[in-house]
Amino acid sequence: MRTRINHCLVPALVFAIVLMPGRVYADTFEFLAYTPPAGWKKEAASDGTLYKRPTGIGLIYFYSSYPSTAPAADEFAKVWRAKVEPTLPGAPPTPQIQRDGDYAVAAGARQVNAQGTLTTITVAAIVGRGRAVGVLTMAAGDDAIREVTTFLDSIDATPDGPGVGSMTAGAIEVDFDVPAGYVSQRDGGTVVLKPLSLDRNTPCIYGISSSRPSKGSLETDARAAMLEILPGWQIKSDHYSAMRGTSGDGWPYYWFRTDVQQMAGAQMQYLTAMTMAFPGARGQVNIVWGFGSTGNCMLDDMPFMRLFFSLRPRGWTTDGGKAFAQQLQGTWRNSEYSGMAQYRFLPKSRYEYGRGTSTTFGVRETRTGSVGDGGFTIGGSQLTLTPDARGRGTRKFFARIYDEFSNGVWRQRLALLDESVTPPIEVRYMRAESN
């Protein structure tokens, strides 16, 4: 399927989205596969990936995908207004629309005279399977335009690409969102999520491996995959941490973390590694993994939380939050040095909340407290609390309930991720009583 982008001042540019599994591509970006122009330099960006022509004017920019069920024409206008209009005022051109199976493409182009150089700008929005991704190109001169045209003609929306999991065994069977500060790269049958910079906010490397037949239990599956992405490494000791639980959509998981080692010359190297197993379709199991420097990478940081809550295993039918709502009932406490916070979730979607603090100045102790109640709703992994008291706004959290194994003991916890504050924070509560 080919969509030809024409404009009264624009040379004919060809943009194709063709589902052809037999084609060979040089690179991928999320659910797109393509062949970039030879010699163009690839760079990571905070909101995607770009390629630059070594000489003259030539740019290709892939913008990170986002959830969408809107028409492709609407997404085209959105991308144009956000990425082009700030420097090239005026309404976006009317795009041409092309469809192929699950995907729709809206593409349009315009020319601008930039300091005496006639530059062609194209924007394409590819929408399908609940995701949208934008592609922008700039080119000036016959050679650059020819290279961009060939590139656009190579783009393929592939069901086996990252973020668009396939129902075929051995493919990525998971939809997901790339965490902020990371870029997604395809490496054979694995998606690698690399941080733009290794720092305290992004200390770990994550990835998703191809699905495979389950070995009978999620714990066995997770342990068996531990060294799969670290060939030549060995597990350091019997010490490990683990989590097991059920997502807001009802799929179970097992998370396993331990230290690994490898001899490099005369010196031993160490890493902390993690694998998480959760079900796929037809008896398959999916594996999420991660690793990083011991002491800095804990593999349950904010990027992992965002990745976890975005996971959408294909072939899994949500239970509407029923299992999560049942587990949520009961009392959960967070004890801090100077106080305690407590939630009690009741039947019929009601909750009670209490908080108390104690502050000591010399021999004087000051205590404060607050209580409240209200109603709650569950939508997937999102927990919404609506207080009864007027003037207290609704609060939304990403929530998970899990059993945590540490120092030989399993403890059940409730974790609430609040992304409405800066920086986002996850507060963990321990169950105070059984259901």
CA pair distance 307, 29, nearest whole angstrom? 17
When pLDDT is cut at 50, 70 and 90, the band that residue 150 belongs to is confident
When pLDDT is cut at 50, 70 and 90, the band that residue 280 belongs to is confident
**Where is average pLDDT lowest: 55-64, 124-133, 240-249?**
124-133
The pLDDT of residue 339 is 73
Instruction: Over range 321-330, report the average pLDDT.
Output: 89
The pLDDT of residue 282 is 77
Q: What are the pLDDT digits (tens) for 60-77?
A: 999 988 888 889 999 999
Q: Taking the CB of residue 300, how many other CB atoms lie within 10 A of it?
A: 20
Instruction: Over range 213-221, report the average pLDDT.
Output: 93
The pLDDT of residue 158 is 65
Domains of the chain: 2-157 (3.40.1000.10), 174-313 (3.40.1000), 322-431 (2.40.128)
When pLDDT is cut at 50, 70 and 90, the band that residue 336 belongs to is low
When pLDDT is cut at 50, 70 and 90, the band that residue 433 belongs to is low
Average pLDDT, rounded, for the chain: 83
When pLDDT is cut at 50, 70 and 90, the band that residue 241 belongs to is very high
| Location of structure tokens 């192929």 | 100
The rounded percent of the chain whose pLDDT value lies above 70 is: 86
When pLDDT is cut at 50, 70 and 90, the band that residue 2 belongs to is very low
